[in-house]
Amino acid sequence: MINVNKIICAIDTSDISFAEQLVSSIEYKIIFKIGLEFYYNFGLEGINRLKKIKPEMKLFLDLKLHDIPNTVKKSIIPLLKSINPFMLTIHVSGGASMLEEVAQTVHKISNENNLKRPMLLGVTILTSLSNEDRDELGWNANLSEQAIKLAILAKKTGLDGVIASPLEIKGIKKACSNSFKVITPGIRMPEHKSHDQARIMTPIEAIKNGADFIVIGRPIVEASDPNMAIKNICNL
């Protein structure tokens, strides 16, 4: 059995009505993930429309920010004040200075505005990348080794955890401690195709390996009954 609170549902859509219907229909207290597709189409207004439907919803703002330190730091501030997400992401490959400045800013703005501090997560290696992609990018380390190196940097610079494929969970936990959060996309049910994901596991495999939260998109959002899909995933 999987704790339903560990489920993150990815709302990757350019259809605001579909997103509203999905959020409204789901009865379980899961986390909802907003990514680039939704945010670029609907922005803060779209997020507020979802929060109006479910004010208590936990929001994972997955914008994967990656730029020079000052730009990312200033971009984060209005997001914290207007949305106050439960989780948000930046790219670890932005470097130590960016990570440290953003982590400090998240603490400072949260304290000054009496906000619950969001979980700041670093994106390591996208789960769509394969070892062939690694070779084309000119990386020397294999993908798992690279992800662990990035996770160590994320922890060192004050982040709460990382986004990594299920294949790296154990290595990251060993290198960074069990309290360091690992959130895993690349989750597929046995009967589903991998689509654009290269490094995947089933939900139960990821949880057994130590994932703190698992991101699931298509198996929930494309289901005729999302609540039944969640129930089946968690074996409730």
DSSP string, the chain: ---GGGEEEEE--S-HHHHHHHHHH--S--EEEE-HHHHHHHHHHHHHHHHHH-TT-EEEEEEEE-S-HHHHHHHHHHHHHHT--SEEEEEGGG-HHHHHHHHHHHHHHHHHTTPPPPEEEEE-S-TT--HHHHHHHT-SS-HHHHHHHHHHHHHHTT-SEEE--GGGHHHHHHHH-TTSEEEE--B--TTS--TT-SS-B-HHHHHHTT-SEEEE-HHHHTSSSHHHHHHHHHT-
Distance between CA atoms of residues 164 and 182, nearest Å: 7
Task: Look up 181 and say whether it is catalytic.
Answer: no
The active-site residue out of 54, 64, 170, 231 is 64
CB 32 within 8 A of CB 230: no
Distance between CA atoms of residues 103 and 213, nearest Å: 21
Which residues are catalytically annotated? 64
